[in-house]
Amino acid sequence: MPTSDYRRLQADKIVNTIDLLRRRIQERFPDSSLHGVAGELHRISQEAIVRARSIRRPNLWLRAGVVLLVAVLVGVVSQIVRFVRVNKEDVLELEHLVQSLEAAISSTVFLGAAIFFLFSLELRLKRKRAFDAVRELRSLAHIIDMHQLTKDPERVTGRGPLTASSPKRSMTSFELGRYLDYCSEMLSLVSKTGALYVQEFPDPPTVEAFDRMTNLTTDLSRNVWQKIMILESVGEPAAAAPEVTAERKDSGAREAASASDPTDDAELTPAPPGARAQID
């Protein structure tokens, strides 16, 4: 892969990664609504490619219309100034001079504001489309968080009695870990999808909105990983128990062997001289 490919996000690779995650969720949890959320994320990522490129492209028709409107506005103002007749005697008077300057300044400011509004119209329209896309991704991130909200890792251990309103859980410890991991991956891919808009349209307000959305997905993913860590810590004692039992069995076997074999690391008591002579 060329070096330049590592300096830009590859939109098709993001879409393929999301599609692979969707299929993994479908194979692991075919009847879960998380699979539907992954499918929606896949569709949004496909739309993001088209929308981001559309935002990047210049709107030639809009630019031509803006230039035409500015030309008409300037022409109208110039015609008004051309047909205005001012007496020299009135201009020399202080009161009329102040009124004329005030009118000229007001007209200039109004004309400049109108021209700025027209020329910034395309930027504001693009910014609105980018904001709408980021807002859509923020909503999807909250939906993903809702799916993992009731996935309590302590339910796997069976601690405490359930109430009538407790959610029913049939997942094993492994399945719950995979489910939470899928949620974390989806939150990360939501952020990567939003990065496509910033890459094609690096507008400072849009970048700021994207950063806030990234912070949101990071915080939500951190909550998911806290549950994963709790789940792993709960499962560690059960996994370590056989090893401890095996160590105890090996230790007991060694003690039994030492008791049956007197030469095993035992200190030999020297025999008295008379006994040694009899043996010799």
pLDDT digits (tens, 9 = 90+) for 188-211: 999 999 999 999 998 999 999 999
Sort residue 160 into left (φ over 0), alpha (ψ -120 to 50) or beta: left
pLDDT at 100: 63
DSSP H or E stretch at residue 258? helix 204-260
Determine the 3-state secondary structure of 201 from DSSP.
coil
9 contacts 32 by C-beta, under 8 angstroms: no
pLDDT digits (tens, 9 = 90+) for 170-180: 788 888 999 99
Structure-block tokens of residue 62: 């809009």
Residues 6+ apart with CB under 8 A from 209: 130, 131, 134
Place of tokens 């006994």: 275
pTM summary value: 0.70
Residues 77 and 157: their CA atoms lie apart, in Å, by 80
pLDDT at 256 over 70: no
9 contacts 116 by C-beta, under 8 angstroms: no
The better pLDDT of the pair 221, 275 is held by 221
The better pLDDT of the pair 265, 148 is held by 148
Residues 255 and 266: their CA atoms lie apart, in Å, by 12
Most confident of 5-9, 140-144, 168-172, 242-246: 140-144
Q: Classify burial at 207, counting beta carbons within 10 Å of its beta carbon; exposed 0-12, middle 13-18, buried 19 or more.
A: middle
Mean pLDDT computed over every residue of the chain: 78
191 contacts 111 by C-beta, under 8 angstroms: no
**Eight-class DSSP state of 48:** H
Q: Please report, rounded to a whole number, the percentage of residues in the chain having pLDDT higher than 70.
A: 70
pLDDT at 101 over 80: no
